[in-house]
Amino acid sequence: MTTLTAPGTTATPTRRPSATRGLVRTVLLLHRPALYLWAGLFVALAALLLWLYGPGTDAAAAAWREYDRCTKATCAYDQDAILRYKSYSQYASIALAFLPFLVAAWAGASLIGREMETGTAQLAWTQSVSPARWLAVKLAVPAALVTVGTSVLVVLHRGMWVRGQGRIDNAKGWTDTFVFHANGPTTVALALSGLAVGALAGIRLRGSLSALVMSAVWTVGVRAALSLALPYLWPTVRTVTSLTHDGPTSLGITVHDGLLTSTGARLADPQCGSSHSSECSTLYHRLDAVSFYTDSHPQSHYWPLQLMATGLVLVLTALVLLVTFRLLKRDTGSAPLTKGAAL
C-alpha cells in the first residue's frame, strides 16, 4: 500500500547523517588502542603530579626542615621522603618533556602513515569525504585530546613545582630544561608540532615505519633548535660585578658573560677568579679589565620566553600543516574520489 502526500503539503526531507560526524566516530573507533594508551598515560601522570603536589611535597618539606635544624653530627630525618620527591618529580618532568615525541611517532606511524600504506585512506575518500576534510578531521580529533590533556598536565606540574619552591632544597630550578618546558605551554605547542609533522610524514612517505622515523627525527630537531634559540627570543639583563667576585654573576639563564674593559669592550672570562689573588689581579690589569659582566635572563623573563617560544613553534606547526594540505591536494585533488579511482 502506498501512502500519498496530501495536496498542499510538503514532504519532510530525510535527514542524512553528517559525514564529518561519522568520520569522527571512525577515527575514535579505529584508534581505540592509542586512545586507551593516552588515557592511561594521562591518568598515571596526573595521579603522580597530584601526589607530588600534596603528600609528596609535604613529606619532603618536613624532612628538609628537620635536616636544616640539625646541629649534631647525627640527626633523624626522613631521607627517603627527600629522595622520593627528587626522583618522582624528575620522572614527571621528563615524561612531560617526551610527550611530543610519542605524539609525533604515533601520528606518523599509525594515524596517517599506516592508513596511507594500507589504502584505508583512499577507501575513505570514496565515501563522500574529500581528502582535505578527511585529513582535517583526522588531525582535529587527536589535536583536541592532546591539547586538553597536555594542558592539564602542564598546569598540574607547575602547581607541584611552585609548591615545592623555597621548601625543598634540592628541588629543580626554573632554568632546568625539563622543568622549563614542563611548566609552560611550549610542551603543548611541541606536541601539536609533532602531530603536524607526523601527518606530513605520513602523506609524503606513505609508509608507517618511514613516517615514524621522520616524525621522531624532526621533533628532536625542533626541540634542539628551540633550545638553541630560546635565550635570544627576549632581551637580556646585564649584570656588572666587581673583579673581587669569583666570577660573573648570572640571574638565571646565561647568554653571554666575561670581562668588561675600561673602554667598554667585552672579553672572554679567563676563568682566573677573584682579583684578591695577585696572579688574577695582574692578569686583569694586563687585559685592562675593570669588572665582570653577565647578560642573562632572570626568572621574571620566564613567561616572555615561554610565550615567544610557543608562538615560534605554533607558526612552524601552521607552516607544516599548510605544506601537508597542499601536498595532499596536489596528489589527490579536492573532490572525493570515485571507487574506481581509489582501486
- Flag whether 16 is in a domain: no
Question: Please, which residues have CB within 8 angstroms of residue 340's CB and are 6 or more apart in sequence?
Answer: none
Tens of pLDDT, residues 38-74: 899 999 999 999 999 999 999 999 999 888 888 776 7
pLDDT reported for residue 252 = 93
Neighbour-count burial of 47, counting CB atoms closer than 10 A to its CB (0-12 exposed, 13-18 middle, 19+ buried): exposed
- Flag whether 209 is in a domain: yes
- What are phi and psi for residue 253, nearest 5 degrees? -90, 115
Which mean pLDDT values do the consecutive 10-residue runs of the chain (343 residues) have? 49 53 77 86 95 94 86 77 93 91 81 80 76 88 91 96 91 93 94 89 83 85 92 95 92 94 92 91 93 95 96 95 92 57 43
* Residues 330 and 251 placed together within one structural domain of the fold: no
- Flag whether 334 is in a domain: yes
- Flag whether 1 is in a domain: no
* Residues 181 and 310 placed together within one structural domain of the fold: yes
- Flag whether 67 is in a domain: no
* Residues 219 and 289 placed together within one structural domain of the fold: no
* Residues 171 and 224 placed together within one structural domain of the fold: yes
* Residues 244 and 207 placed together within one structural domain of the fold: no
pLDDT reported for residue 337 = 52
* Residues 198 and 330 placed together within one structural domain of the fold: yes
pLDDT reported for residue 131 = 86
* Residues 258 and 147 placed together within one structural domain of the fold: no
pLDDT reported for residue 96 = 92
* Residues 227 and 249 placed together within one structural domain of the fold: no
- Flag whether 243 is in a domain: yes
* Residues 243 and 104 placed together within one structural domain of the fold: no
pLDDT reported for residue 341 = 45
* Residues 176 and 268 placed together within one structural domain of the fold: no
* Residues 181 and 308 placed together within one structural domain of the fold: yes
Q: Give the closest residue to 113 by CA, choosing from 220, 209, 25, 216.
A: 209
pTM (2 decimals)?
Answer: 0.84
Tally the domains of the chain: 2
Q: How many angstroms separate the CA atoms of 195 and 142, rounded?
A: 8
Report percent pLDDT > 70 for the chain: 90
Lookup: cell for 134? 578527511
pLDDT reported for residue 73 = 66
Q: Which domain holds residue 214?
A: 32-61+79-233+301-338
pLDDT reported for residue 16 = 47
pLDDT reported for residue 4 = 47
* Residues 184 and 290 placed together within one structural domain of the fold: no
pLDDT reported for residue 235 = 96
